[in-house]
Chain A
């Protein structure tokens, strides 16, 4: 009996320890075998691909290596490069400032530079809330801002002032990263003042409108609830902006500090792309969230309005909206209202992006299990608490790739403003550069230059979204 039993019964007397996999199943060898030479087809494809890459590089490399940096015209470039030809980067060297600033007055370049540097300070608490990474970002940007100011601005006072402000912000970011949020809240007004100039009291008076809104909300909310509080606050603030702010600004006109005003038509290049892109990105997210919630609402009116808005905006090309902004909107406004073209474009681009964001977020909301809503309800959280604390953090996390895609698309779409006569970097500025008799006929270099900058910005956004996804990953699947 014991003999037959020995085949079915087994007792382990000693446990086995872990061992390394065989040599061909680990490290570089494994990677090469699995990814490049996994079979005959795979090996052949690898070799063909290598050949194609080599062939393309061999074709293009001389053009890149032969690049000419110092010349005053395309003809001179061609002479220097000789018969084998080469890139004429001299055009970028001569005209880079137009690609960056458009026709912004040269002696005031410090203003957009400081605004751009401060933008990253304002972004730091949004991108890295309460983390030291934010302080590192502020530090790097501070150094870059001061260096570029030193290189481009002849007034040493501006450089020193910027250095002091940036150092102060860096200290704040290092010691109390969460406090940086106040910089973020003030930034839109500060940037507006820096870029467009004029009296500082105009943005301050506008800011006061938000103060009015918060004040009214605080008074109403305990008595009539969140929705009524928000609505009343918003209406009061709008009334203030429409009827009171004008006289406040007028009364304070001429009171220093004041900056030389710069007109919207002097904006151009990446400055313009950033003004439109960043404003539209930061405004379209909250509007998109509200639209997504509206579309899922039980209230028929709100639902119908949201659906109508989203479907209408998504059904119309962006260029149509831009033409509306530049031409049609004027007809609907009271005569002689001076409504800035950039502002009009920003509003319509924002609404356009908001409709897409709303649909992306709706996808995130739909992906949440019903149980999350039920658990929030069962715990007694009201609608807005449940949305803010439970639903949105999860829905937004799911929607990050879609949201960032929309943002990237939006940022690239800012080049379409050339159709309404604004100087976008791709078409607007390049056309002006090529209209110059010296650079007539230049083709590749400006587009490569603009393309590379767009790529870097969009790639940065994409990498950040991947970092964020990783950071917010708590499901441990």
Chain B
């Protein structure tokens, strides 16, 4: 299966980050980041807390601003130009650790809001698309409930469906399972695996090493705001090169 997936990766570049640096005030959070993501590639980013992995993927859709270097997403460079930012954001879907569903709207309205207002899709069409994706994440029956009535796992699946409704070409996941009960982690991971099998370009910050082994083309390990090691999952887990990686892996896989 792993071989088949790797076949889908094309040579087309989806994201290119070169010599990127970011500071929070004077604190240097991201240091000289260089990476390229090809279309169809699935990348897992891991590392200890505070290593800058969330900040990195939040830079990709400009939820955070970088101060130096270049980020090019789908051929559009992220600068302070609002038009470019909006263009990138409508092409890049994002799933958050705390779901961030809109509590005052129903599940269906959560999913149709952006297509209607950003993509100018007619309401009926947007609802049909939303139902399609809600079926895909296996909760069409919750469409008319409010987020507060759903379990964490269901909410996270809705969040995934909401992003998919914008028909994004790239999906970013920021620790999507960290706020969930163990029982619910599986249902969210299953959804993400299904998405990966369809060839979606995915960047995923997660500590789910099983997920990384199953679907990732590449695992990136970050520490102190820099990329310490990246490799294919098999090599990364079985034969880590740097001492920092070995220590990290021994700590999270130790029990």
Contacts of B166 in A (CB 8 A): 379-380
Q: Is the interface of A mostly helix, strand, loop or mixed?
A: helix
Query: How many residues of B are in contact with the other chain, CB < 8 A?
Result: 27
CA distance A477 to B92 in the complex (A): 32
A371 touches B98 (CB 8 A): yes
CA distance in complex: A382, B119 (Å): 12
Is A374 a contact of B103 with CB atoms below 8 Å?
Answer: no
List the B side residues contacting A389 at CB < 8 Å: 113, 117
Write the chain B residue with the least CB distance to A378: B94
Residues of chain B with a CB closer than 8 A to A394's CB: 102-104
Per-position contact with A for B83-110: 1 when CB-CB < 8 Å, else 0?
0001001101110101011111000000
B146 x A381 contact (CB < 8 A): no
Q: Is B148 an interface residue (CB 8 A)?
A: yes
Q: Which of A374-396 contact B (CB under 8 A)?
A: 374-375, 377-382, 385, 389-390, 393-394
* Bound: A394/B101 CA distance, A: 12
Answer yes or no: A43 CB below 8 A from chain B CBs: no
Give the distance to chain B from A338, nearest Cβ to Cβ, in Å: 46
Contacts of A412 in B (CB 8 A): none
A476 adjacent to chain B (CB < 8 Å): yes
Assembled-state Cα–Cα distance A397/B105 (Å) = 13
How many CB-defined contacts (below 8 Å) exist between A and B?
70
Q: Which of B96, B104, B162 gathers the greatest number of chain A CB atoms within 10 Å?
A: B104
Interface string of B164-179 (1 = CB under 8 A from A): 0010000000000000
Task: Give the distance to chain B from A376, nearest Cβ to Cβ, in Å.
Answer: 8
Q: When the two chains form their complex, are residues A475 and B103 in contact, meaning their CB atoms are under 8 A apart?
A: yes
> CB distance B96 to A374 under 8 Å?
yes
With A and B bound together, what is the CA distance between A105 and B62 in angstroms? 64
A474 at the interface (CB under 8 A from B): yes
Across the interface, A375 reaches (CB within 8 A) one of B100, B117, B148, namely B100
Question: Which of A374, A385, A390 has its CB near the most chain B CB atoms (within 10 A)?
Answer: A374
Q: Find residues 56-102 in chain B having any chain A CB closer than 8 Å to their own CB.
A: 61-63, 82, 86, 89-90, 92-94, 96, 98, 100-102
In the complex, the answer to whether A379 meets B148 with C-beta atoms within 8 Å is no
Bound: A390/B86 CA distance, A? 17
> Does B2 have its Cβ within 8 Å of any Cβ on chain A?
no
> What's the nearest-Cβ distance from chain B to residue A300, in Å?
16
The CA of A310 and the CA of B231, in the complex, are separated in Å by 56
- Check if B114 is an interface residue, CB within 8 A of chain A: yes
Interface string of B212-235 (1 = CB under 8 A from A): 000000000000000000000000
Most buried by B among A375, A385, A475: A375
Q: Which A residues between 349 and 404 are near B, CB-CB below 8 angstroms? A: 369, 371-372, 374-375, 377-382, 385, 389-390, 393-394, 397
Q: Which of A374, A379, A389, A474 has the most CB of B within 10 A?
A: A379
Asked, given contacts A371-B98, A374-B63, whether A379 binds B103 with beta carbons under 8 Å apart, the answer is no
Q: Provide the bound-state CA to CA distance between A385 and B94, in Å.
A: 18
Q: Can you list 19 contacts pairing A with B, beta carbon distance less than 8 Å? A: A371-B96, A375-B100, A375-B102, A377-B63, A378-B61, A378-B89, A378-B93, A379-B90, A379-B113, A380-B118, A381-B113, A382-B82, A385-B117, A389-B117, A394-B104, A397-B104, A474-B104, A475-B148, A476-B146
Residues of B that sit less than 8 Å from A by CB: 61-63, 82, 86, 89-90, 92-94, 96, 98, 100-104, 113-114, 117-118, 146, 148-149, 162-163, 166
- Sorted from nearest, which 7 A-B pairs have the closest CB atoms? A380-B90, A375-B100, A371-B100, A379-B114, A476-B148, A378-B94, A380-B89
